[in-house]
Amino acid sequence: MCGIFCVLNNFSNNCDNLISQLKFEQNIKNRGPDSFNFQVFSTNDCSLAFAGSVLWLQGKNLTPQPLEDSESIFIYNGDIFNGFDEATQNNFGDTKLFHNFLKENIKNDTLDELYKVNGPYAFIYLDKAKKKLYFGRDIFGRRSLLLGKNKEGDTLILTSVAKRKTEFDFIEVPSVGTFCYDIQKNRFEVYCWQHKNKNYFSKLKDFESFLSTEIGNVFQREDDKPSNDIRAFEENENLKLLKSLKDTGLNEEGNTVLDQLLNSNLWLDNVKLLQKKCIQNKDNCNHATIGILFSGGVDCAVLALLCDKYVDKNRPIDLINVSFDEAKNYQSPDRISGRQTLKELETCCPNRKWNFVEVNVTKDALDKEREVHIADLIYPLNTILDDSLGCALWFAAKGQSKEYVTPCRVLIVGMGADELFGGYIRYRFALKRYSWQGLQNLLDEDWQNLPYRNLGRDDRVVSDHGRQLRTPYLDENVVEFLRKLECWEKTYPSSDLPLGIGEKILLRSLAYHLGLKQAATLKKKALQFGSKIANPKENGHEISSRLCY
C-alpha cells in the first residue's frame, strides 16, 4: 500500500512545496509509514512534483517511491496477483514489475492490455522525453486516485487522498481505462478497457465536464463480453433443484434446505469450485498481521474460515467488530452476531487464536474525528451513506479496543459479495416482478456500477491507518468464476424461501459446507445499520451536512 501524489503546473512555476501548502503531506504519509520521498521534474514550460509513501508488505527490499530512471518517473499503489513467480516478486517487488510492464505497453501502444493485470492498483507515470503523463486505476477501482484542478485551470493534481478546504476541486478518476495527458499539447487521451458498460461514456463525459475540455482521443477495442441473455433456464437442473426446495420442511435455521442442496453433486461441485477460487496466503508470523472486518455475517465468516485454512497456525487473526450503540452499552446487532459466529469459528478451528476486537465509538469521538479528519478522506464523496460507511470503516480500521490495538497491516473485508452473489433485498423484488431476466439485468447493472461507487472511498479511509485493504471476493479469479454462473446458480431470492436462505445461496452453501451452520443462515445487515452508526430516518442518498464545508 502506498500514497501517491503528483502536481503539474503548465508553466515553469515551482510547485515542489504545494503538497505541504495544501496540507496533503501527512495524509499521504499515513498511507505508507515505511518510506516517504519527493521528486521534482522541471522544463522550460512545465513543472511537476511527485511524492510517494510506502507500506512495505512484500519483497526482499523496500522499493522507495517515486521510482525514477532516465526515461520516466513512476509512482504506484497496488499489488500483482498473477503473471510472476514468487521468487521474481520477492526479488523485484510489484512496483518494479508493474513499472516494466507499463513501459513495455506504452512503447507498444497497447495500454488497454493493463486490464489483464490481476490485482488492485493506481499509478502515475511520466514519460520524460514525450512529456506525457499517464495515470489510471484497476478495472474494479479498488485503489483510490483523485484528480484535482484549481480555478485558473493551470495546475492539476493527482493524489490518493485530498482535502475539502483548498483552492482545488477534486473528482475520482473513473476506472474506465488508462488516461494520458499530453503536456505539450494540453490534451487528454484515454485507452479504454475492453469491457464497457452503459455508465462508461457518462463517466468520460463527467471527466470532460470537470476539466472543461474534450478528450482528444478515445482508443477503444471491441467488447467481446457475451450477451447476458438468459439461456433456456426452465430445463436447468440447478434451477429445478432450487424450485424443489419450496416443499422442503424448514427448521428454524433453514439447515434442511442447505443439507438438501449439498446432497446434490451438481450443486456441491460449484461450492467446491468457489472454495478453490478463494484466498490463499502463506507466511510465518507469531503476531496478528491479518485483520478481518467482522460482523459475524456469512460474508466475513467465510473469509475468516478461509484465512484459518491458509494462514500459518502460529499467527493470531484479529476479528474487528465496530459498534456505535452507546445507549445500549454497544450491544449492536453486529456485536451480538459477531460473538455468536466467533463461537462457531472457535469450534471449527480449535487451534487458531482469534482476537475478537471490540471497537466501541462514542458519539463525541465520531463527531470530532469526522470533522477534523474523516470527512477529508471521504471527499469528494458526500452523501449520508458515504458518511456512515466511511466513518464506520475508519474506526474499524483503527482497530482499537479498550486494552488492545490491532497490529495488522492487512484488513480483509467482504466488499463485492452482495453484488456477485446476489445479496440485496431488492433482488427479491426484481425476481418477483421481472423474473430471471430482470434479476440478471439488475445484477449486471449493480456489478458494472461497483467501480464508480465506494471502493476508492474505502481505500482512503482504511489506508489512513497504514493498513492495506484486501477484498478477496473481488479477486479476478473469483469474479471470473462467479460472473460465468447463471444467476440462479448463486442466488435464489424467491419468496419460496425465507430471508437469510435464498439470497447468496451459493455462498451460504459454502459456509454451511465448511461448518458455519449458524452464520450460513444469518440475515444480511448493512454495516451502517448493524453497527448502529446510521440514523434510519435519514435518506442515505441525500447530501450529508456533516461532510460539507
d(CA 124, CA 145): 9
d(CA 313, CA 90): 23
Place of cell 473513473: 174
Q: Which residues of 170-202 are buried (b: 16+ CB within 10 A; e: fewer)?
A: bbbbbbbbbbbbbbeeeebbbbbbbebbebbee
Q: How many CB atoms lie within 10 A of CB 383?
A: 18
d(CA 215, CA 363): 45
Per DSSP, helices labelled H in 172-264 are 200-211, 237-244, 255-262
Residues 6+ apart with CB under 8 A from 203: 174, 176, 452
Place of cell 444467476: 487
Place of cell 469491457: 195
What's the order of all strands across the beta sheet hosting 72-78? 67-68, 72-78, 121-127, 132-137, 177-182, 187-192, 215-219
Determine which one of 2, 192, 391, 487 is catalytic.
Answer: 2
Instruction: Give the closest residue to 15 by CA, choosing from 155, 162, 163.
Output: 155
CB-CB contact of 190 with 203 (8 Å): no
Instruction: Give the closest residue to 406 by CA, choosing from 471, 329, 318, 511.
Output: 318
Amino acid letter for position 272: K
Q: Which helix (H) or strand (E) holds 293?
A: strand 290-293
d(CA 177, CA 148): 18
Active site residue 300: no
d(CA 33, CA 525): 34
Q: How many CB atoms lie within 10 A of CB 358?
A: 18
CB-CB contact of 437 with 445 (8 Å): no
The catalytic residues are: 2
